[in-house]
Amino acid sequence: MGFSRAAFAIAIAALSATAAGPAPAAGPDAFQFALQNGMQVVVIPDHRAPVVTQMIWFKVGGVDDPPGLSGLAHFFEHMMFRGTKQTPGDEFSRTLARNGGEDNAFTTHDYTAFFEQIAKSRLPIAMSLEADRMANLDLSDSNVTTERDVVLEERRMRIENDPQALLAEQIDAALHLSHPYGRPVIGWPEEVHRIGRLEAQDFYKHHYAPNNAILIVAGDVTVDEVRNDAQAAFGKVPARELVPRSVYAEPPRLTETRLAAASPDAKVPVFMRVYRVPSYAEAAPGQAEALETLAQLLGGDLTGLLYRRLVVEKHVATNVGASYDGYARDDGEFQVSAYPRPGVSLTALEQAVDQVIAGASKAAPNAKDLARAKTQLVASATYRRDSQFALASAYGQALSIGLTAFDVKAWPDRIQAVTAEQVRKAASDALVKKEAVSATLTPATR
């Protein structure tokens, strides 16, 4: 199951399903360059079909919401579809659709991404539309109230209608003592209500500029084509002075936080634990890859240790999951979840989870299990190459948090290099309860 903190768009669901990590060393290359205004560009040629995926990643997200205005970055993502003088109203999406294109966007704590998928011959149209709204967004006539209502409906759909999502939101709030990763990307409703046109305009001025953006083009293109087209469309957008991003420290936690929620909306009990762990951006060499491998070993699939012990052998759970969310500028998260079999208490279930985790911290995985986990992770990079969107996302995500295209390319080799002892040490160092929130959700009568 997913309770990724970064789940506020249709697109990100597809991303997290395949987001074990970026691309393999084999196969077509990615190329990187920069425009003079500071815009970074990555080109990933894939000539199988005459289509392209364009993504523009801005290094701004929920973390940059001003105090008291949580949700502004995400709200602003919506406003980017509200038109310019040249492309007024909803003509942005209409123009793309008329040209056979699809478009959408998503926001996380660390970045905001906009994307178009379209026939190769129409790429210049998609570029010129993006360049136009990067520089010339016109919010003067737009109805902020209506879009706020849309966002509040989005929040009801993604969070408030779902007891597990509500709990996950509170887990994040409890896990991060000081860092804005503890605030929901979609915002607290009371604060979303306070967002107005002025706040949106300020946000645009401070964060939306070519020198804060990464352009990724994957598909039936050459590097020269993209360089020419990007220069023509984006090259004329002037760089802006950016407001420096705040740097947040997160103090060490003194002790585990425990949440026990009972909800009449919940129909099944569940146990969730989220650890604050090093991200790819913070980790020592090999550490994040070891955490990735550990997540695969514990809960990557039906051969995972948690599934084998808890579901198959002990019959205490119906389902389990483990995942590492390491693509963050600051701390990453390691998530474990388990559903008890009917008649099994959440306490007994948690003890069984703890036994497996303690075992992984004490003993290194056996060679066969480790090889299997690595094989699957490396293959996932090949499978990801099958999708322009997934591969472009891997690069965008990595570059947005300060990694390089080389990191993306080297990822499979780095996974291959993970040793059994590194995995054990990753578990022992990172899966410590004082850096975790443990939560239970229990059905309650109304």
Rule CB under 8 A: is residue 50 a binding residue for other proteins? Answer: yes
Residues in region 162-181 near other proteins by CB under 8 A = 162-164
| Residue 25 vs 239, nearer CB to other proteins | 25
The distance of closest approach from Cβ of residue 395 to other proteins in the complex, given in angstroms and rounded to an integer, is 17
Rule CB under 8 A: is residue 90 a binding residue for other proteins? Answer: yes
Instruction: Tell me how far apart the alpha carbons of residues 188 and 152 are, in angstroms, rounded to a whole number.
Output: 10
The distance of closest approach from Cβ of residue 377 to other proteins in the complex, given in angstroms and rounded to an integer, is 9
The distance of closest approach from Cβ of residue 300 to other proteins in the complex, given in angstroms and rounded to an integer, is 8
Residues in region 29-48 near other proteins by CB under 8 A = 46-48
DSSP state of 99: T
The distance of closest approach from Cβ of residue 411 to other proteins in the complex, given in angstroms and rounded to an integer, is 15
Of the candidates 109, 176, 372, 409, which one interacts with other proteins according to CB under 8 A?
372
**339 contact partners, CB below 8 Å, separation of at least 6:** 268, 269, 270, 271, 317, 318, 319, 320
| Amino acid making up residue 234 | F
Of the candidates 11, 14, 16, 27, which one interacts with other proteins according to CB under 8 A?
27
Rule CB under 8 A: is residue 93 a binding residue for other proteins? Answer: yes
Residues in region 412-431 near other proteins by CB under 8 A = none
Of the candidates 86, 136, 146, 355, which one interacts with other proteins according to CB under 8 A?
146
Answer whether 302's CB lies under 8 Å from 253's CB. Answer: no
Residues in a beta bridge with 441: 261, 270
| Residue 97 vs 358, nearer CB to other proteins | 97
Rule CB under 8 A: is residue 148 a binding residue for other proteins? Answer: yes
Residues in region 298-337 near other proteins by CB under 8 A = 301-303, 308, 311-312, 315, 318-319
Of the candidates 3, 327, 339, 395, which one interacts with other proteins according to CB under 8 A?
339
Site string for other proteins, 251-270 (x = CB under 8 A): -------------xxxxx--
Answer whether 185's CB lies under 8 Å from 73's CB. Answer: yes
The distance of closest approach from Cβ of residue 356 to other proteins in the complex, given in angstroms and rounded to an integer, is 16
Residues in region 374-413 near other proteins by CB under 8 A = 375-376, 378-380, 382-383, 385-388
Cβ of 292: how many Cβ atoms within 10 Å?
27
Answer whether 319's CB lies under 8 Å from 311's CB. Answer: yes
Instruction: Tell me how far apart the alpha carbons of residues 380 and 24 are, in angstroms, rounded to a whole number.
Output: 9
Instruction: Tell me how far apart the alpha carbons of residues 300 and 20 are, in angstroms, rounded to a whole number.
Output: 10
Residues in region 94-113 near other proteins by CB under 8 A = 94, 97-103
CA-wise closest residue to 394 among 15, 10, 14, 5: 15
Please report the DSSP string for 138-165 in residue order.
--SS--HHHHHHHHHHHHIIIIIT-HHH
77 noted as active-site residue: yes
CA-wise closest residue to 158 among 189, 193, 194: 189
Structure token pair of residue 247: 């740097």
Please report the DSSP string for 20-64 in residue order.
T----SSSS--EEEE-TTS-EEEEEE--SSSEEEEEEEES--GGG
Of the candidates 86, 161, 178, 228, which one interacts with other proteins according to CB under 8 A?
161
Residues in region 268-297 near other proteins by CB under 8 A = 268
The distance of closest approach from Cβ of residue 240 to other proteins in the complex, given in angstroms and rounded to an integer, is 28
Of 25-33, 35-43, 287-295, 329-337: span binding other proteins (CB under 8 A): 25-33
Q: Which residues are catalytic?
A: 77
